[in-house]
Amino acid sequence: MKRTLIIFGVILSLTFNISATTWFPAQHKCPVCKKKNIYQEIGSYGSYIYSWPSKYQYIYWPLTDLPSVYSCINCHFSSYLWDFDNIPKNKIDTLKKFLTQTKLDKKYKDYLDIPMTRRLEIAESVYKILGRDTQFWCEFYRVIGYHYDQVKDSIKAKEARLKAIDLARFILLDSMYIGQEKENLYIIAAMNNFTGHKDSALIYLDKASSLTYSNLKWEKKDVDNHDEYLTDLIKQYKEFISKKDEE
């Protein structure tokens, strides 16, 4: 009996870890005020993250997880975890000036206790100072929309998603992104669906399904894999909307 329980426990553990993601603590120094603090770094994950429901908003783990946005508990500098240690020195003074006017509702001992939406709001201003391209901002507002949704703030979630739609449309007109129309039409479809316009979403999905993704900056095998992924994703999305209609 004991051996059976042990075997069952091992199987259960393996089953759980097939789709598990992990984090581990690590110390980082704030690039602005030099305060040392404990943050969470990515431990492990797998390709299964691309099959999780957030794919219907075209964002993926770790952006959907609370530890992904670091925030200094002293000066409140906030950014994605992969940018935190790489801030240009010529931006520090401007960031300091902005952050002296940034207030939180109380003092926090752990950055994870600061509401994710508040961290993202600060990060929005930080990235405007740092400067980012249109694709970054399109994704950023999808991320903000996702997290506002998590705290049931439907008004701000919709505002963010409408910004993402506008940016995706702008990308469609930008010659720098020629060949990526399939991806951007999918984004527009996704944001339309999540702002209550499923009929428009289906129209954009149909448009996207007739295209082939290309990207001159990528290797052919990566382009082909991404195009195949988008094709399957579009098909899944149509089924996703149909299922919601049935419910």
Give the containing element (helix H, strand E) for 237.
Answer: helix 220-246
pTM of the model: 0.90
CA 98 to CA 100: how far, in whole Å?
6
CA 80 to CA 90: how far, in whole Å?
19
The answer to whether 7 and 35 are in contact (CB under 8 A) is no
CA 79 to CA 127: how far, in whole Å?
8
Q: Over its length of 247 residues, how does the chain's per-residue pLDDT go in tens digits? A: 333 333 333 333 333 445 689 999 999 999 999 999 999 999 999 999 999 999 999 999 999 999 999 999 999 999 999 999 999 999 999 999 999 999 999 999 999 999 999 999 999 999 999 999 999 999 999 999 999 999 999 999 999 999 999 999 999 999 999 999 999 999 999 999 999 999 999 999 999 999 999 999 999 999 999 999 999 999 999 999 987 665 5
Radius of gyration from C-alpha coordinates of the chain: 20
DSSP state of 79: E
